[in-house]
Structure 1
Amino acid sequence: MQHDLMFKRLENEGCGTVLVEIDGAAFHARAGETVAAAVLAAGMIPSRTTPLSGSSRAPYCMMGVCFECLVEVDGVPNVQGCMTLVVEGMKILPQTGARHLSMAEQEMYS
C-alpha cells in the first residue's frame, strides 16, 4: 500500500518549514504542525506498536484523546504526537511496545 496517496497535504502558500529527523530520515515539516501530522506526511506508518500484542498503530483522533500517536521524541518515549509541535532538529522515532522505566522511575513507582 502506498501511504503517500492516503495522506496528501493541502497546499499552504508561504508556510515555513523546520528540518526534523523522522525514523532516521531528514524531513521538512511545516512550521507550526504537530509531530503526528509530520509523521503521517512522512509516511511513518505505523508510528507505534502496542505493548501487549505488538500490533501496529498510527495517529487517529489528532486531538489528544486516543493515544494512538505515541512516539519517541528526542529520546523521550510516550510523547503524544498530536499534542506536540515540531521544532528544528527534533528526532522522532516510532514507539515500540512499552517504554522502559529508569531505575529512579522504578523506585518512585514501587
Structure 2
Amino acid sequence: MPAVRIAHGIERGRSVTILVDGQPVAAHEGETLAAALAAAGRATLRHSPRAGTARGAFCLMGVCQECLVRVDGRLCQACRVVVAEGLAVECRGSL
C-alpha cells in the first residue's frame, strides 16, 4: 500500500483569539480546544484533586476525562470543545 500524502496542504479555520486563564491565545476556528492548547504549549490542563499531579489531553476522544477545563464557566472536556472566537477557558485552580 503506498503512503498517503497531503498534496496541497491543509486549510485551517480562520485565526481567532481565545482567553486561557485570562491570557490571550491564538487558535484556529474549528479545531478542538485540546489541539489549540497543545499548539500553544499548554501540556498541563489541570491537576489531580487527590495527588495534585499534572493532567492533560490523553485519549483525545472524550473517554478519559483527563482534559477537563472550565469553558465559559462550565466543566468540559477540552478534546470535545470546538474553538470559536472569544472562548473563555480556565485551566488553573480548582475544577
TM-score range, shorter chain: 0.7 to 0.9
**Uncovered stretches (5+) of structure 1, i.e. residues with no partner:** 1-10, 100-110
Match of residue 92, structure 1, among 84, 89, 92: 89
**Partner residue, 2:5:** none
Match of 1:45 in 2: 43
Is the contact made by 1:72 and 1:95 (CA closer than 8 Å) also made in structure 2? Answer: no
Percent of pairs with identical residues: 40
1:73–1:14 Cα change, 3 Å? closer
Query: Residues 38-58 of structure 1, C-alpha deviation per residue, up to 9 Å, x if partnerless?
Result: 111111231011111111011
Q: Are 1:68 and 2:72 matched, yes or no?
A: no
Name the TM-score, length of structure 1 as normaliser.
0.69
**TM-score normalised by structure 2 residue count:** 0.78
Measured on the aligned residues, the alpha-carbon RMSD in Å equals 1.8
Query: Is the partner of 1:38 in helix, strand or coil?
Result: helix
For residues 11-64 of structure 1, what are the alpha-carbon distances to aligned partners after superposition, in whole Å with 9 as ceiling and x for unaligned? Answer: 644641221112222122111001111111111231011111111011011111
Structure with the larger helix share: 1
Please, which runs of 5 or more residues in structure 2 have no aligned partner?
1-8
Separation in 2 of the partners of 1:25 and 1:75?
16
